[in-house]
Amino acid sequence: MSAISVGQAVVLGAVEGVTEFLPVSSTGHLKITEGLMSIPVDDDAVVGFSAVIQVGAIAAVLVYFRKDIVRIVSAWFRGLKSREERHHHDYKFAWWVIYATIPIVVVGLAAKPLIEGPLASLWVVAGSLIVGSGVMWAADQMGRHKRGEDDTSFKDAMLVGSSQILALLFPGFSRSGATMSTALMLDLDRVAATRLSFFLGIPALTGAGIYELKDALGTGAGAAPLVVGTAVSFVVAYASIAWLLKFVAKHSFNAFVIYRIVVGLALFALLATGVLDS
């Protein structure tokens, strides 16, 4: 028997697709949904399943930003051959994404037992949702929103990329929330912060999905639920990306801040009353 049924995979894939790139914590929402469906959140197969279906969401980013990605990757290859091309911003940006991914890879491998053990608790998720909300609100208020995507630097990429560690260690903090908040504190505008979050998430989340694939299949996740969950995640994430970019162009992040606080408090209540098992 698979640890997750096809029907549950559809639900979890939809949750992943909606929340992966919104600053509300996909990991937190997946764990809450798994808890409500009586799926053990600390089961190896479940942890692996959650990582693998992220690839569907990442595939949506690759398709949605395919023109930008082709431009950046092409500039990188040209720069490897030509010294003149190395002054191009796209060439530099490609290297920045690679360098900015190293911190989360190192911490992810070193802290794997903690991430899949004590830190996987729903209590941690609830607390991180609320604390992350405060950080996001402060960043949105403090940021001057005066720098665009072409103004990003190596320092920006490293700081924003390293902030992904917060979401890795504290599920509920939100990878998107951490990266966008950091970018806003660096005075990037909301659209630039959101796009930078997308690009920096591609290698980290893709690597996590590939790394977990063998374990997910080997511990009972089942091939059919993995395929279905990933496919649903892709379709829903594509729509979510398109909506988010339009939303942040005209609105602040306050709606996400309020939503996260409500969900965090509700989760605390469900845990305290025994409705959910941590």
pLDDT in tens, 69-108: 999 999 999 999 998 889 999 999 999 999 999 999 999 8
Looking at the chain, list the stretches that DSSP marks H as alpha helix, in order from N- to C-terminal side. Answer: 6-19, 26-36, 44-52, 54-64, 66-81, 89-110, 112-115, 122-142, 154-162, 164-169, 175-185, 190-218, 223-248, 254-272
Task: Specify the DSSP class assigned to residue 188.
Answer: B
| Average pLDDT of span 185-207 | 91
Backbone φ, ψ for residue 188 (5° rounding) = -75, 150
* Residue 232 clears pLDDT 90, i.e. is over it: yes
What pLDDT, on a 0 to 100 scale, did the predictor assign at position 217?
65
- Mind listing the pLDDT tens digit for each residue in 112-151? 888 877 887 889 989 999 999 999 999 999 998 899 988 9
Residues in the chain: 278
| Average pLDDT of span 49-53 | 83
* Residue 205 clears pLDDT 50, i.e. is over it: yes
- Give the long-range contacts of residues 251-256, CB within 8 A, separation 24 or more: 252/140, 252/190, 253/23, 253/136, 253/137, 253/140, 253/180, 253/184, 253/190, 254/137, 254/140, 256/22, 256/23, 256/24, 256/133, 256/136, 256/177
| Average pLDDT of span 170-189 | 93
Spell out the residues 6+ positions from residue 250 whose beta carbon is closer than 8 angstroms to its own: none
| Average pLDDT of span 26-43 | 81
- Sign, CA dihedral 72-76-78-84, equals positive
Under a CB-based contact definition with an 8 Å cutoff, are residues 264 and 127 in contact? Answer: yes
* Residue 1 clears pLDDT 60, i.e. is over it: no
* Residue 156 clears pLDDT 50, i.e. is over it: yes
Structure tokens that stand for 139 in this block = 């960043």
This prediction's pTM? 0.87
